[in-house]
Structures are given as C-alpha cells and as structure tokens.
Structure 1
C-alpha cells in the first residue's frame, strides 16, 4: 500500500496515511498536493490523477506534543527487529534492561528487543552483571524520528520535511 506524508499547514509533519485517504483529502479540498509520485497515477474510468507522496492540510491543526506510543511493536521497530544482545531476528521478545524484580519500569529507556535465548540467559541480571553488552542503548524516539526511520517510508520527497538533508 502506498503511504503519504501529511504535513500541517506550517509544513510540519503530523502523520502518515494511505494514498486513498490522501486522495480523498485532496478531492474534498482539505489538503493540497505538495509532491506527487510521477511514476504512479490514480485512475478512474475517464481520468488519471497524480499519486500523492506529500500533502499539506489547508487549515492548521493544533496538535499537543506528539509522542510515539510505547508498544511492543514500536520497540521492535526502534531496534530494527533484532536482538540487541546477539543480533538475531527470530523468536523476539522484550527484555527489561533493569529487571522488573529490581525496580525496572516498562519505559522506552528500559526496554530492549531480545531473542528468547538471550533473555533467558540474561535472566534477573543487568547486562553488565550478565556480561552481555547491548548493541545500542535503549532510547525514546521522537515523533519525527519515528516517522522518518521506522514508518517504512518510501519517498525521497519526504526527507526535507523530516529533518534529513
């Protein structure tokens, strides 16, 4: 499915939607086309329309601080669907870096993707105690970073709106 970057009226990124939803917003004149995909078209019986890649809303939408929802799948995306201990991409689970039994919370900075084998070996220890260093320190992704790096975008047209030069 083709995905489209949705910009607020001030050109700040606010979401990603399907091409069908973007076309509807364009058709209803609630958005304007900023970039299209020249290699693809949306076709009706009589007409071919540009396939949207980036659209901008006609009216500014006030959005309070937008953050990435902490979920199992989002942690896996952040960690590139790989165990942060061994790099394996199979039988993944979540590991609490500081174990829950020792006061560790379920937060972005305390959850890491781990395969079941590494999670079992690490057990109720910290990575240092288990002599299992993490490939990267767990972090809380920003919304723009999450859209840019983890949403599966496919268009270079998005880059300048997502803080990539």
Structure 2
C-alpha cells in the first residue's frame, strides 16, 4: 500500500498529497468522497473491500489561506532540480545570492539559485554579469501545484486535469 493519493478540496482544487493508508482512513471515517480509483486494485480486510484510491475529495470545504511554498534551502534546490544554475553540475551544491547580500540582495525566490561551490566561489561578491557568468534559467517563485507534482515524481494521468497539466 505504498503510493500517493491526491487530496482535493470540496471545490476540486488540489490541496495536498497523502499516503494510501491515510486516504483509506479518511474514506472509512467518511470525511472524503472517492473521485478516482486504481483499476483492478482494492484494499481488503476480513469484512470490507474498498477501492484503491488515486484521488479523493473532502466532503467539507477546508478554508486554506494563500498556499505558498516556503523559502528554504531544500526548496530552492528542489526548484532548481539539484543542479548548479551556472555550470549544470550536480556536485557539492550551495545556495547563491544573484545580487550579493553585501549589495542589498535579499533572501527571495527571485534572488536565490542553486550553485556548486566552484561557481559560487568564482562569482564571489559580484553579480553574474560582473563575474562573466550566465544563469541557465531565471529564478522564479514556484507554485504550490508545481511542488505537489514534483513531490510525487511520476504523475498519474488522472491527476493532470486537477493540477492544470492536461
């Protein structure tokens, strides 16, 4: 029963991803409706048989304040696919401020990128232009849906319409 289940709010907006076990408990407690199940699979107990969930929807609307991805080292590395944004290396990664802190650069999604130690040291206390270095991709604030997609890895095709990926 190792797998992921997409949890939708009552209005069918994506909320989170949970384990199959958690989804089964929510189904048993009648807190969610089953939206999609995996064909040919079921969860059984001596007295009950339930479809193997893929997508569930909350029965009651959960009011969630603005969902945003928290800025952290781990999340910057995840956004940049654990790759140096200057040379493409995947070894000994750090976080680099595009506009250095000493020049007023802030800790924001748009100012932080993953960089290998070599590139970070080469750039030093300069901007990429001053150091003669070019970013492979402009940094951006990731969406909540993007992190759900990346957390799971291989997406089930039935999830795509709910994550606006179809």
Q: TM-score range by the shorter chain?
A: over 0.9
Match of 1:23 in 2: 24
Aligned residues: 164
2:108 — aligned with what? 107
1:158 matched residue in structure 2: 159
Separation in 2, partners of 1:76, 1:39: 38
Question: How many angstroms apart in 2 are the aligned matches of 1:103 and 1:87?
Answer: 27
**1:116, CA displacement in angstroms?**
1.0
Report what 2:95 is aligned to: 94
* Deviation of the 1:43 alpha carbon: 3.5
1:119-158 to structure 2, matched below 5 A, reads: 119-148=120-149, 150-153=150-153, 154-158=155-159
Change (3 A) 1:55 1:131: same
User: In the alignment, what sits opposite 2:76?
Assistant: 75
Q: Could you list the runs of 5+ residues in structure 1 that have no partner in the other structure?
A: none
What is the CA distance between 1:10 and its match in structure 2? 0.5
- What is the rounded CA distance, in whole Å, between the counterparts of 2:128 and 2:41 in structure 1? 48
Deviation (angstroms), 1:152: 2.4
2: distance between equivalents of 1:85 and 1:41? 47
Residues 51-101 of structure 1, C-alpha deviation per residue, up to 9 Å, x if partnerless?
A: 211110000111111111111111111111111111111111111111111
* Residue of structure 2 equivalent to 1:32: 33
CA positional deviation for 1:4? 1.1
RMSD, aligned α-carbons? 1.5
Residue 8 of structure 2 is aligned to residue 7 of structure 1: yes
Cα distance, 1:145 vs. partner?
Answer: 2.6
